[in-house]
Amino acid sequence: MNSIFSKRRARLLAMKAMRDNYIPGDQLTVCPKCGQESPRREVAGNLSVCPKCGYHFPIGAYYRLSTILDPGSFRELNGKLPAGDPLAFPGYREKLAAAQRKTGLTEVAVTATGTIGGQKCVVGVLDNRFLMGSMSAAVGEKITLAIEYATKNKLPLILFAASGGARMQEGILSLMQMAKTSAALARFSEKGLLYISVLTDPTTGGVTASFASLGDIILAEPGALIGFAGPRVIRQTIGQELPEGFQTAEFQLEHGFVDAVVPRTQMRDTLERLLRLHGKGGQP
């Protein structure tokens, strides 16, 4: 009987996920990387990964959660925590309202508890469609609350980063979130708990410089841009040409910043295996 309500929950999350990614009709989708056309149905069936070249289309937060968590296990944490406008920054409120209307999210971060292969965990996702996935005080608070929830309940933590950095409209307050999330993670780490950070396209700025780089295990999606400052800024600053594939996930893997590059279609299985390896009893 419990399974009926969990089926309802799974259905509701699937609807939310589809709201993130829905484009009407069944025309062809053009891949921005290889330029080839694929039927939308085929792309959707492949978790929004180009079936021809493996390009990872950007996806929304709920969509990502629906692909990671066991159906029906999703339970959102602090779903309604809103962004404020602490500096009364001109035009910021309107921008927030427009982003909320467009995405149906209240903020960049969506945090939830759920199970992956039956193992309970806390998952946070940043959504790049909402003001470039920038970190505001509310985002930092949500992430911190999720970390603290995981600490208190002794649960493994998985965070999917996708961000353009700190949100400039909140000035120093958004930069302070770097210290806040890092401190929360330090307390989390002291308890000996597992934190897996997954870097998706793009992970830059203050997010890279704080919680995204603090994972016990750091995974990345193929082709994701990962760095602090962007390549154009670096090129202009140092006045040199940058190496091929600079700041891609593969480049960072080669240089030791990332532990593994995992395609989206294998992400769920990989996470399940990692949780099993590092969980209580540690079964392979």
Partner 1 sequence: MLKRVLIANRGEIALRIQRACRELDMETVAVYSQPDAEALHVQLATQAVCIGPARAADSYLNQDALLTVALATNCDGIHPGYGFLSENADFADACAREGLTFIGPSGDTIRKAGSKSAARDLMKAAGVPVTPGSDGPVSSVEDALAAAERVGYPVLLKASAGGGGRGIRRCDSAEALPAAYAEAKVEARACFGDDEMYLEKLVLRPRHIEFQILADRHGNVIHLGDRDCSIQRRNQKLIEEAPARCLTPELRARMGDAAVRAAKAVGYEGAGTVEFLLDSDGEHFYFMEMNTRIQVEHGITELITGVDLVRQQLRVASGLSLDMTQADVSLTGHAIECRVNAEDPRQDFRPCPGTVEFLHFPGGAGVRVDSHLYNGCALPPFYDSLAAKLMVHAPTRLEAIRKMRRALEEFALEGFPTNAELSYQILYHPTFVRGGCTTAFLEEILPRLLDFNRRVDQHEDTL
Answer yes or no whether residue 4 interacts with partner 1 by CB under 8 A: yes
Q: According to the binding rule CB under 8 A, does residue 24 interact with partner 1?
A: yes
Closest to partner 1 by CB, 5 or 75: 5
Residue 82 is a binding residue for partner 1 (CB under 8 A): no
Kindly tell me which of 86 and 263 has the beta carbon lying closer to partner 1: 263
Instruction: Write the DSSP symbol of residue 144.
Output: H
Least Å distance, CB 60 to partner 1, is 12
CA distances from 172 to 96, 139, 179, 184, 227 (A): 18, 14, 11, 19, 21
Q: Which two tokens stand for residue 186?
A: 């330090």
Give me the torsion for CA of 116, 118, 120, 124, rounded to 10°.
Answer: 20
Binding residue for partner 1, selected from 27, 33, 37, 41, defined by CB under 8 A: 41
Structure tokens at 218: 């750091």
Least distance (Å) from partner 1 to the CB of residue 4?
A: 6
Residues 208, 140: Cα–Cα separation, whole Å: 13
Distance, in Å, from the CA atom of 211 to the CA atom of 8, rounded to the nearest integer, reads 33
Q: Name residues whose C-beta falls within 8 Å of residue 86's C-beta, 6 or more positions apart in sequence.
A: 137, 170, 173
Closest separation in Å from C-beta 25 to partner 1: 7
- Regarding 284 and contact with partner 1 (CB under 8 A), the answer is no
Is 45 a binding residue for partner 1 by CB under 8 A? The answer is yes
List 14, 132, 209, 229, residue binding partner 1 (CB under 8 A): 14
* Among the listed residues 8, 156, 119, the one whose alpha carbon sits nearest the alpha carbon of residue 71: 8
Separation in Å, CA 206 to CA 127, 140, 149: 15, 11, 23
Check binding of 18 to partner 1 (CB under 8 A). yes
Residue 25 lies near partner 1 (rule: CB under 8 A): yes
CB of 123 to partner 1, least distance (A): 15
Residue 44 sits in the site that holds partner 1 (CB under 8 A):
yes
Residues that bind partner 1 in the complex, under the rule CB under 8 A: 1, 4-5, 8, 10-12, 14-15, 17-18, 22, 24-26, 41, 44-45, 47, 63, 66-67, 71
